[in-house]
Amino acid sequence: MNERMRLIREDLNLTIAEFARKLYVQWSTIKNIEQGVNNVSNQMVRLTSLTFNINEAWLRTGEGEMKLADNNSETHEFLKLCENWSDEELKVLLNYMKGYNKIHHKK
């Protein structure tokens, strides 16, 4: 999966910093994933898939096509809206999402 994350970034012609910014993580997170230091979390897989219209099955297994044919317009509109948010605004959103996830996806 780590190699496929790099392939996505390169396909999009993004630097590590640009790619990280679009995923709301620090550049070192992406660098460590690409170098195999860290594994790709389930949350990162889902976020990458939604953000860049990537086939989640391809990202996990390498099978199928990298990109999805259909765009989820609501997701892309939301992500476009967030592109110019400050780091503080993005932190608030991520904290909200983490809390929502804990409440609605208890194991």
Contact 55, 62 (CB under 8 A): no
Task: Kindly report whether the global pTM for this prediction surpasses the value 0.85.
Answer: no
The CATH number linked to 9 is 1.10.260
Domain limits for position 83: 2-104
Of the listed ranges 3-17, 48-62, 86-100, the least confidently predicted one is: 86-100
Contacts of 65 (CB under 8 A, 6+ apart): 55, 58
Tens-place pLDDT, residues 7-16: 999 999 999 9
What percentage of the chain reaches a pLDDT higher than 90? 44
Phi and psi torsions of 67, nearest 5°: -100, 145
Number of domains observed in the structure of the chain: 1
Q: Which pLDDT does position 107 carry in this prediction?
A: 47
Lowest-pLDDT choice from 22-36, 48-62, 63-77: 63-77
Where does 1-107 have alpha helices with state H? Answer: 2-11, 16-22, 27-34, 42-52, 56-61, 73-82, 87-104
